[in-house]
Structure 1
Amino acid sequence: MIKHKKGQTVHGWKIKQVKYLSDLKLEFVELAHIATGAKYVHIDRADSENVFCVAFKTIPEDSSGIAHILEHTVLTGSRNYPVRDPFFSMIRRSLNTFMNAFTGNDWTAYPFATENKKDFYNLMSVYLDAAFYPTLSELNFKQEGIRLELEGGELKYKGVVYNEMKGSLSSPERIMEEAITSSLFPGSNYRFNSGGDPKIIPSLTHADLKRFHARYYHPSNAFFYSYGDLPLAAHLKVLHAKVMKNFSALKIDSKVKSEPRWKKSKTAVYQYPVDSETDTSRKYHALVSWLVSPVMDAEEVLVLELLEDILLDNPASPLRRVLMESGLGSDLAEASGYNAELKDGIFSVGLKDVSKHKIAEIKKIIFSVLKKLTKTGISAEAINSSLQKLEITHNEVVNSPYPYGLKLWFRFIIPYIHGGNPLSALYFTKDIKALRKKLKQKNFLEKKIFKYFLTNKHSALLILEPDKTMQAKEEKQEKESLAKIQSRLSVEEIEQIKKDSQKLKELQETKEDLSCLPSLGRADIPLKIKKIIADKKYSNQYVISYTAKTNGIFYWSAIFPIDSLSNEELALVPLFCHVLPLLGTKQKNYLVLAEAISALTGGVSVFFQTASDRTENRSKAYIIVSAKCLNTNIKKTQSLCQEIMAEFDFSDIHNLKKFVCEYRSGLETGIVEEGHILAASLAAKNLSTVSALKEMWGGLSQYEIIKKITEKLDEKELKDLSDKLSKIGKKLFAKEKGKILNIGEEKALSLTKNEFGNFSELSSEKLDINNIIKLDKKKQKTGRYLATAVSFVSACFKVVPQNHPDSAKLSVLSKVLSRQYLHNELREKGGAYGGFSRYDKSEGIFSFGSYRDPHILNTLNVYSGAKKYVLNYAFSKKEIEEAILQVCSELDRPASEAEEARGAFYRKLYGINDKNRLDFKKQVLQVTAKDLKQAAKKYLKDNWQDYSIAVISNREKLVETNVKLGKDGLEISAV
């Protein structure tokens, strides 16, 4: 039943359009504010995870990062909430399921999500006040953006965003993104880096920031959004009272200039930093990028998404296949595919890890394949497979990595801010129906290839070349620039810098009265937990089935214990997972298998998982083969997955080599972006069997294993690797050891095969991983270097797991340290993008970490001070309550019904029952300040040297740190 009517006026807003979308089970409402022209989209859906967002078009006029720094600074105090850090304070005072802020190329957004009604309006009040009435103090601008400080008598640049962008632009993938936009849009605002270029950020002034806010942060330039089961009228009433009644219409020029289309394509060369020890002979990236249609044209967006899937999605996709079979690169370049995040879309394709002299050949291959496709045509099977995949993507309800309501916002916000119809981006059934009709026209897609790629001269060949001296040159330039500035400063100006630094330090160290901020309390935390029960009708000893509302999508998994592999074989498990669904079976070669997976499913994934079983008091590990499909393809999908497991074939060593190199390339890509995760994994590797496995399978150790394998991949080595992988498969997929997990609607479950197919009947030799994995009792003190301008610093130590009485105390302690002590010391004072502490209750491991950090030793010393901080600090009841709220927010995080079912299955697999979960939650709710001090005294150390340490940074910073540490230095080696 539709709740809203077109033309209706509500609290000063007029409803422009209303549409019920049956496929997504939601009511779409678009409104316009009568007085200011502000825009609003509301999605009414039976979902308790309500979302709110306010966004603005923010058009950068240079690469100073003004929009990005403003995004940070508006969250550091406002008219009704004049405290230093209301955003991070509200994280502590809320049961939010998501809180963040984003800076895009031409927009800035402030979204949050929560299941609690009171919390929703608390957060809405703080967010609106921050966006429309921020204090924008100069000290906060200097903290979040950029400032000068004297350190050891020398000037240094400091600032959270400054360090964030130094870290971000250490990645070749991020540099390529900037290369694409600056090359294809030389005359528009997209040529600028909206996040900020560290070389340009220092030119930004506080006055510039305030002018930018006054220009763009106005209702006439605002796009509001809400989603969920809370009523729209209540949102509009609050919005009117807090904001809209205070504003009148303002004419704001926030249009992005359209780029004049070129008559001739271009070539552009950019550099990215690599370590001086890197062999650069095959470290170039080559990419062809085209400017395609405006993203406001929903039908053309769908066409380009379809072309992306057909051309590049899987090993059998024609463009990907020829590029990868050429052997000219290790993998597709990260930016390959269709990008609809700007006013005009971009389509790119290329390779990474290529030789300089092969770049022209790569471009030739790309155009040759595209030209051939316009002549030979695209098969109906390939088109139908890709259409099906688009349908699965559209219909699937998933709450990760963002809440589902926010994912819907991402679908329409870009065309919406550029004047498009927001409904068009969600009205999939209408557009797909129109597209299917057009696809019946002769050569419809082939003509699109001709239009967008072969005759489109607005394209560029983009080359990234490795530069061993780039990082050193940039650091030298920065030092020289600062020395030049310092030489020109008067005594009075130097004194002012010192005074500003002292003022900022005093601000950061002043304990504030946060009573002006709204808050939830313990009474608002639900005492119950969500319980998910398997459907006995469709379950047996080996098959566990869950009934769930899945929007016509079925989820299937086969789970096998990893309990029969040697230490050498264990190291190859991630590679085995990567190549298993790629290489083919005894019935199908790798191309036929790829086509079958594409035709029947939304993807087949193979992955590993490990955790401790507290019931059996031992570590467990599993390999999981998982697939999702439409209900119409259930039986065929199950048969295909069972064929992959029972009839795998690793004998195609030519393609095995290709997929191994592709796997290595993927590992390399994640190192800089996931530096904090990798540092923590490395630091924890000797603290438990599970931690050792996680490091072996997902840490730098895995990269080192694969790097060693790929150094010599001749025919003999490949044959040996093929035999090892085959042996692993035979050991793992034994019939009597596996379990099947089915998740879907009841009609779908009735179609499933509740049995295993043609698997090995033989029992494999059982080997206990707890005995195979040998832990080194020596504490880690390691530093790994690569080309990065920032550091990731981790310290880990063993505590107790969830079944211990201190577990709840440690959970709350980790939140107190993260949000109060480490946030203040590492981010506000130190300028790191992030600082945190985490308690892994499954393994009983406590950790400290920093992200995009300008320091190493200072950060380690902060970790040393954590114990003293807790023991000396007078915690208020409210501060303890805030930390408890954070723990419970994570415990009760909402998920789709399919995700909840999956979670219930894996909890049971690792011996976690609902009573354990409820008992733990009750214990968390009872934690006191006294408990925190006892836990800190018992588990935290006085000196970071007593923790296990891992640091990822550049070589110069690590060497500099070791000079200061002397005999207590880190063991340094290259990544």
Structure 2
Amino acid sequence: MTKFMSDIKIFEKGSEYNGFCVLNVFELKDYHSTAIYLRHKKTGLEVLHLVNDETENLFSFTFRTPNPEGNGAAHIMEHSVLCGSERYPLKDPFTQLSNQSVKTYLNAATYADKTVYPASSTVEADYFNLMSVYADAVFFPRLSPEIFAQEAHRLEIDGDGKTSIQGVVYNEMKGVYSSFESVAMDVPVRNLLKNSIYEEDSGGDPLKIPFLTYEEYRNFHKKWYRPENCFVFLYGNIPTEKQLDFLQKNFLTRLEEKNPDFEWTDDIRNSILKTHLEYVTPKKLETELFVKTTGPSGEENEKKSTVYVTWDLGESKDAEQNMEKIFLTGVLLNHDGSPLQKALVESELGEDTAPGMGLDGLFHTLFTVGLRGVKKNSAEKVKELVFATLNKIVENGIDKDDIDSTLMGLEISHREIERNNGPFAKSLMMAPINAWLYGNKIEDSFRLRSVLEKVRQKIQNKKGYLEELIEKFFLENKNFAVCEIIPSKKYTTERTRQENALVKELVQKTSLEAIKKENAELHAFQSKKDDTSCLPHLRPCDFIIKGKRISDSYSLKIKTLEGKDNSSVDYFESGENTNGVTYVDVGFPADVLSSDKYKYLSLFAETVCDCGWGKLDWSEAAAETALYTGGITCSVLTSETPFTKNNADFRKKHNFTARDWVVFKLKVIDEKLKEGLGLFADNINNVDFSDYKRLKDIAVETRNDFDSSVVPAGHQYAMLRSLRKTSRVSAVDEILNGLTQIFCLHELAEADPKNNSAVFNEILRQIKAGGGFIHVTAEPETIEKNKELIAGFVKSIGLCALKSPKENSLEEFVKLTELDGKKSLENSGDAGDEKIVIPSLVGFAGEAFKTIAYGQKGNAILEICCHWLSNILLWEKVRTIGGAYGAFCDIDSTTGNVLFASYRDPTPQKTADVFENCLKEAALMDFSQDETEKAVMGTYSHFVVPKTPRARGNIELLRTLYAIDDDDRENKLLELLHCTPEELKKGFNELLEFSKKIKYRVIIGPENDDLSGEKIFLPL
């Protein structure tokens, strides 16, 4: 029972409260929650509240939003409802909220058959502010013609008289259709789930979006955005009655008034559910399906197809059925040594396994395996390999270790407290949402330890249980598809041709005068200044308590352990409530290497834990690791260190600050710590780089992963690239993670793996000789209980005291970032501007310049300025008016480097000029006290997002390694919360002046007239 049971007693199954009837009340001990499930008697709106001790409260509004047309109606509606409502008649209350709320999460998402609007906060008043805006948005939106033109589609004429289709969702989806992986992963779903809404793109096909009419758009909301088609999920410690009272008073009463004749009945529910199930139920295939199609690429190469084999596993009506499929997926694909995964990796039919393998949870669950980089006309061979492997598994039986390693993975996932791009509650909410969506029992939907135990007992007590599932789901199931997707330059060329033809067709149906008139009306709508006083907000004074520190405090302790040759090794302890999971980090200094070795480090980190060690080959090592641990991985770490008065003594005392690191990481449950540390030591001591085929496979897979990330994440590459000349660390970051690394990986993937092996051995030898540190994050009692075990581990890996770094200069690293021997281009006197060509229908812009560094007065004010620019001016100019999907202004608070970027941008070259214009406009503005406080609160929200135990341990480590002083953090937050309108205005003027000095601009996008000058082509 939770401590809130005194409040919950008023809710018993069958009871009523303020217009709601209680459908059920049940305990979820795994999540330390009591679930209260209710329905509003008059409107039919359903509510599920998981009541617990959590102070981070979350709500979400979910609607069934099936759309069989592929015109993006559901996706466009998701954008549009957040563009103003009855009580909040603003152009964009969503961004205003983002600017001023201390939210911990704020988003909306369109799925294939539903749309979800979640938000969370740790402050109750802020939580209800968010709920007020969101509920008003979804139930009472404006949906004006201007909003439709802005978010969906419109014709637009540029300064040269060229007509194009524009729209935020339109351009977002052009970005999706520029990514080969996005297109390829969609092919099995569309073809296997025929005659259902999954056959069409819920996000919207850019070639179909322009056919959505304004009337259809309005009708879509009228049909689906109704309380009887709404499920509200609540999570946290705010009492249920308080939340229900808020919903009734602010929204449900208004909905009753809006539809006075409506009275919810079971027949209405059944009718809605029946209609939805008709939309989502696919036609069952009578025989296997073969599909051959193309996807976007910068080259014609039929030797690099992606081949998928995908099964429709049918419905999953409860958690036990779902757990069977999850467990079976783990057994087959849990790690590189798992039987089906290993067969694919070793087959030589392709370069590496395809992205998107595993389960896809729709109304029918899909299971997908496949290969990337498959030779021409080899799709049938891939299918034969998969079936032969599955038949062999059934014939020979499943190895007990594969079962046990899957159990280990599930055990860790149950124990581990994680934030996955948002609060833990965000991932927890999807199970009951999907149960409601498809008419299944809410209480049977949760993935509980007891459900896993049922499946485990079946495996233990019924011989051949899993083998029978393989036969049922795969070998006897003819409802599957084999899909071959070929990278082709013609794909993008053909879509561009169709888009141009569509523009001509649409122009013929209107006139230039009508287009200009519509655009003028839209521009007037977008340019109108909103009165944001209707939006409630908190004030900085609410968070300043005299005599109490604002900044958080952590528990890391700096100690030493005896290492090799009796030297003192730096040992860091983070005592956290990890729920029985231990995390161990071992760091070796990368900066003892010469600069030319850095280009190898990313591939080294990908390889060193995946190529076998000691007597274990790579597959055996993977199997052992999965059997006893939650994973052994490696990554490269570099970051700036602030040089302030407060951390000067710390930096002098410790030689581990301001360094680059290669960090080996172990995750293990406490009960298996001894075995886990043994494997970890074996990996570090005896890694074997002599399996040249394995090295080649990893290099190719890593190259492919980097290549496929450019179109979805081009803004990140643009920002990294624009920073490369500002500091040594930024140049290193570009070498490790940026466009430079892509060129390096293409070189290393084609190189003789013997050469890579020799370099990797030398890197490992040098970094181990350079000394290092160990960091443990675990329950305090676990650390105390295992202190001798940890001390023994340090000696077993020969860890020694840290040595000094090499003196590698900024110039050396910058030289390594010059792409393909091309000189940096110049534009308006800004040395460092570059134009990068990629095969995409949209582009990205990035720009960087230096400002005030961390620890200096004014750094916090500039952070407020950047936050405000992102959420107000840039959003308006680049997204709302410019049609790009996203625009950002961020500050690296340590260095003071300011970063601008645009995302899925139709005109990235023009956007680069908008950045400067926004700074000029902001510098001329005067800010009221109210506007300043809102910007301060929105910025402050970044500092109050709750951290998981593992994240807290990571942050403690970073603060230690990079000398982030507690007093500096406190001073920054105080400066932020005390910001005045005068200081904010001064900050914008300082930003403008800094931008006039050296800045670095990078444009990434398609080859077209706007991308003028010498170009660098990425080898994608």
Shorter-chain TM-score range: over 0.9
The runs of 5 or more residues in structure 1 that have no matched partner are 963-968
Give the aligned partner of residue 43 of structure 1: 50
Say which SS state the counterpart of residue 505 (structure 1) adopts: helix
Cα shift at 1:864: 2.3
1:879-894 alignment to 2 at 5 Å?
Answer: 879-894=931-946
C-alpha distance in 2 between matches for 1:545 and 1:337: 37
Give the aligned partner of residue 1010 of structure 2: 960
Matched, 1:453 2:474: yes
Q: Among residues 669, 672, 691, which one is paired with 1:630 in the alignment?
A: 669
Letter in 2 for 1:595: A
Letter in 2 for 1:235: Q
Cα shift at 1:655: 1.1
C-alpha distance in 2 between matches for 1:218 and 1:722: 61
Contact 2:909/2:1010 (CA < 8 Å) preserved in 1?
no
Q: Among residues 483, 507, 526, which one is paired with 2:525 in the alignment?
A: 507
C-alpha distance in 1 between matches for 2:812 and 2:500: 46
Q: Among residues 776, 782, 792, which one is paired with 2:844 in the alignment?
A: 792
Cα shift at 1:942: 9.4
Letter in 2 for 1:892: V
Give the aligned partner of residue 14 of structure 2: 7
C-alpha distance in 2 between matches for 1:942 and 1:595: 54
Matched, 1:376 2:430: no
Contact 2:319/2:447 (CA < 8 Å) preserved in 1?
no
Letter in 1 for 2:615: Q
Matched, 1:254 2:276: yes
Give the aligned partner of residue 581 of structure 1: 609
Contact 1:611/1:843 (CA < 8 Å) preserved in 2?
no
Pairwise CA RMSD: 2.2
Matched, 1:296 2:317: yes
Contact 1:870/1:932 (CA < 8 Å) preserved in 2?
no
Deviations 1:927-950, CA, capped at 9 Å, x for gaps: 333334433433435988952011
C-alpha distance in 1 between matches for 2:447 and 2:36: 13
Q: Among residues 477, 481, 485, which one is paired with 2:498 in the alignment?
A: 477
Matched, 1:195 2:230: no
Contact 1:619/1:689 (CA < 8 Å) preserved in 2?
no
Letter in 1 for 2:472: K
Give the aligned partner of residue 541 of structure 2: 523
Distance 1:744 1:703, change over 3 A: farther
Contact 1:545/1:749 (CA < 8 Å) preserved in 2?
no
Deviations 1:185-209, CA, capped at 9 Å, x for gaps: 1111111111000000001111111
Letter in 2 for 1:73: S
With the length of structure 1 as denominator, give the TM-score of the two structures: 0.95
Give the aligned partner of residue 597 of structure 2: 569
Cα shift at 1:653: 1.2
Contact 1:631/1:748 (CA < 8 Å) preserved in 2?
no
Cα shift at 1:105: 0.5
Letter in 2 for 1:40: V
Give the aligned partner of residue 333 of structure 1: 354
Greater mean deviation of Cα atoms: 381-390 or 476-485: 476-485
Give the aligned partner of residue 679 of structure 2: 640
C-alpha distance in 1 between matches for 2:212 and 2:804: 63
C-alpha distance in 1 between matches for 2:726 and 2:742: 20
Letter in 1 for 2:754: K
Greater mean deviation of Cα atoms: 370-379 or 323-332: 323-332
Cα shift at 1:697: 0.6
Give the aligned partner of residue 965 of structure 1: none
Say which SS state the counterpart of residue 563 (structure 1) adopts: helix
Say which SS state the counterpart of residue 226 (structure 1) adopts: strand
Give the aligned partner of residue 906 of structure 2: 854
Letter in 2 for 1:598: A
Contact 1:864/1:942 (CA < 8 Å) preserved in 2?
no
C-alpha distance in 1 between matches for 2:280 and 2:377: 37
Say which SS state the counterpart of residue 696 (structure 1) adopts: helix
Give the fraction of aligned pairs with identical amino acids, expressed as a percent.
28
Matched, 1:534 2:556: yes
Give the aligned partner of residue 268 of structure 1: 291
Cα shift at 1:774: 2.7
C-alpha distance in 2 between matches for 1:11 and 1:302: 37
Q: Among residues 123, 130, 134, which one is paired with 1:116 in the alignment?
A: 123
C-alpha distance in 2 between matches for 1:677 and 1:488: 40
C-alpha distance in 2 between matches for 1:511 and 1:771: 49
C-alpha distance in 2 between matches for 1:161 and 1:560: 46
C-alpha distance in 2 between matches for 1:588 and 1:153: 66
Matched, 1:728 2:735: no
Contact 2:288/2:481 (CA < 8 Å) preserved in 1?
yes
Cα shift at 1:497: 2.0
Say which SS state the counterpart of residue 357 (structure 1) adopts: coil
Deviations 1:188-232, CA, capped at 9 Å, x for gaps: 111111100000000111111111111111111111011111111
Greater mean deviation of Cα atoms: 371-380 or 524-533: 524-533
Distance 1:656 1:32, change over 3 A: same
Matched, 1:707 2:746: yes
Contact 1:798/1:846 (CA < 8 Å) preserved in 2?
yes
Give the aligned partner of residue 620 of structure 1: 659
Give the aligned partner of residue 743 of structure 1: 778
C-alpha distance in 2 between matches for 1:363 and 1:947: 52
How many aligned residue pairs are there? 957
Greater mean deviation of Cα atoms: 676-685 or 760-769: 760-769
Letter in 2 for 1:584: G
Letter in 1 for 2:215: A
Matched, 1:550 2:575: no
C-alpha distance in 1 between matches for 2:783 and 2:425: 26
Letter in 1 for 2:1004: I
Q: Among residues 143, 167, 183, which one is paired with 2:175 in the alignment?
A: 167
Distance 1:33 1:663, change over 3 A: same
Deviations 1:22-73, CA, capped at 9 Å, x for gaps: 3322222222222233222111222111101110011102100000000000
Give the aligned partner of residue 790 of structure 2: 754
Say which SS state the counterpart of residue 793 (structure 1) adopts: strand
Matched, 1:140 2:144: no
Cα shift at 1:552: 2.3
C-alpha distance in 1 between matches for 2:22 and 2:758: 65
Letter in 1 for 2:475: L
Contact 2:777/2:953 (CA < 8 Å) preserved in 1?
no
Cα shift at 1:83: 1.2
Cα shift at 1:505: 0.9
Cα shift at 1:144: 0.9
With the length of structure 2 as denominator, give the TM-score of the two structures: 0.91
C-alpha distance in 2 between matches for 1:411 and 1:643: 40
Distance 1:944 1:296, change over 3 A: farther
Matched, 1:666 2:721: no
Say which SS state the counterpart of residue 608 (structure 2) adopts: helix
Contact 1:781/1:970 (CA < 8 Å) preserved in 2?
no
Give the aligned partner of residue 1016 of structure 2: 972
Distance 1:761 1:833, change over 3 A: closer
C-alpha distance in 1 between matches for 2:383 and 2:993: 57
Say which SS state the counterpart of residue 30 (structure 1) adopts: strand
Q: Among residues 71, 85, 94, which one is paired with 1:78 in the alignment?
A: 85
Contact 1:297/1:420 (CA < 8 Å) preserved in 2?
yes
Deviations 1:514-543, CA, capped at 9 Å, x for gaps: 111111121233561210123689999633
Letter in 1 for 2:415: N
C-alpha distance in 2 between matches for 1:971 and 1:155: 26
C-alpha distance in 2 between matches for 1:662 and 1:331: 5
Distance 1:23 1:943, change over 3 A: closer
Contact 1:619/1:770 (CA < 8 Å) preserved in 2?
no
Q: Among residues 241, 246, 249, which one is paired with 2:249 in the alignment?
A: 241
Distance 1:535 1:17, change over 3 A: farther
Cα shift at 1:785: 1.5
